[in-house]
A and B are shown apart, each in its own frame.
Chain A
Amino acid sequence: MRKPIGWSTIIIAVLVAVSAGLVWRRDGADGVLDILTHDLSLFSGILPRVLAGCLLGAFISEILPHEKVSRSLGPKSGLMGLLIGTAFGAILPGGPFTAYPVASALLAVGADFGATIAMVVSWTLIGYGRAVAWEIPIMGTDFTLWRIVISLPLPVLAGALGRFVYVRLYPKPLAKDDEN
């Protein structure tokens, strides 16, 4: 995982400061405080899940066999790697607090951007968790199933595009892999 402060954090912090300023101008200090107390309670509620996610990621990156992962999900895993990533994302239980730590663990032990993109996109588009809990009750079974059928090819395509672009953007790390 990453250093606590990076460019992304800075950009987000600026965005947040501007938004909070706009809320303050519109609703006054009370408006700012209302959102703060609501979000703080939300924050304390999700902390245990964040901890669980971190532990899950750490244990998984420890117990996964690194060579096997880089063979089946690495840069040279081909279409099969993208399909495995897609299948894995589709069956992964839980929410964002499991999907992203696990994806991060896979990256750490040898999966490439392509297979990991296929996994993340598959989790978000064809994973059953959100569909069963939210989409079917709100949007209806017909729409949901139809939308999932349409989405079926997308994770593999996104992973393939990711791999295609990655190799051209960052040729060096791949060349290093070739030597191994």
Chain B
Amino acid sequence: MSAALLIDILLWGSVLGVGLIAFRRGPAVFMASLREGSMDFINIVPRIALGVIGSGYIAAIIPQEVITGWLGPDSGWLGVATAVVAGAATPGGPVIGFSIGTVALKSGGGMPQVVAYVVAWALFAFQRVILWEIPFMPARFVWFRCAVSVPFPFVAAAIAMVIGKP
């Protein structure tokens, strides 16, 4: 819990810092940004609500065992492709994603496949995209960003194949 507290202190400290800079530009600038930020908040809340509550249901119909099963010792590029899909479909936060990666490593998953899984999870995990990226960013940007990111788990796997294990 202390980590969460640290994050909150850091977060509100940053808000205070940039708020202070805005205030020194003049109270009008400060008030305008404050109003802008509050309006954004009001607009974003329904989308975040949909994301949080909704991704819980989506996660509930994707059993974790299915994801782990996709990360078997299947080697080669087919294994990499499966790992990429598994990374995008993994429900939940970082604990689940990295734990699945660890299980895959211990149960004989290949290094390039596990790297592809972790990178794909970082780039596409649907819960983060639905819950955070789409509410906060222009939708066109998010879809575009996801589309141009598709090759990169494969690039990471290729680099892993070339440079070998750690």
Residues in chain A within 8 A of chain B (CB atoms)? 1-4, 6-9, 12-13, 15-16, 19-20, 22-23, 26-27, 31-32, 35-36, 38-40, 42-43, 46-63, 93-98, 100-101, 103-104, 107, 113, 116-117, 120-121, 124-125, 130, 133-135, 138-140, 142-143, 145-147, 150-151, 153-154, 157-158, 161-162, 165-166
Q: 8 Å CB contacts to A: which residues of B113-166?
A: 114-115, 118-119, 122-123, 128, 130-139, 141-145, 147-149, 151-152, 155-156, 159-160, 163, 165-166
> What are the residues of chain A within 8 A of B40 when measuring CB–CB?
1, 54, 57-58, 101
In the complex the two chains form, is B48's CB within 8 Å of A46's CB?
A: yes
In the complex the two chains form, is A95's CB within 8 Å of B144's CB?
A: no
Given A12-B51, A158-B149, 11 new contacts (CB under 8 A): A4-B43, A12-B130, A19-B60, A39-B56, A54-B40, A55-B15, A55-B19, A139-B102, A147-B156, A162-B144, A166-B144
Residues in chain B within 8 A of chain A (CB atoms)? 3, 7-8, 10-12, 14-15, 18-19, 21-22, 25, 29, 32-34, 36-38, 40-41, 43-58, 60-61, 94-95, 98-99, 101-102, 105, 114-115, 118-119, 122-123, 128, 130-139, 141-145, 147-149, 151-152, 155-156, 159-160, 163, 165-166
> What are the residues of chain A within 8 A of B133 when measuring CB–CB?
96, 100, 120
**Given A1-B136, A104-B137, A62–B33 Cβ distance below 8 Å?**
yes
In the complex the two chains form, is A135's CB within 8 Å of B37's CB?
A: no
> What are the residues of chain B within 8 A of A49 when measuring CB–CB?
7-8, 11
Cα–Cα distance between A120 and B145 once the two chains are bound (Å): 9
**Given A38-B56, A63-B22, A139–B134 Cβ distance below 8 Å?**
no
In the complex the two chains form, is B60's CB within 8 Å of A58's CB?
A: no
In the complex the two chains form, is A100's CB within 8 Å of B136's CB?
A: yes
Rounded to whole Å, the gap between the CB of A64 and the closest CB of chain B is 10
**Given A51-B41, A59-B33, A154–B57 Cβ distance below 8 Å?**
no
Cα–Cα distance between A62 and B31 once the two chains are bound (Å): 11
Cα–Cα distance between A172 and B139 once the two chains are bound (Å): 19
In the complex the two chains form, is B123's CB within 8 Å of A125's CB?
A: yes
A-B contact pairs, 13 of them (CB 8 A): A7-B139, A12-B50, A16-B55, A19-B61, A20-B54, A40-B53, A57-B37, A60-B18, A103-B137, A107-B141, A133-B94, A134-B94, A139-B118
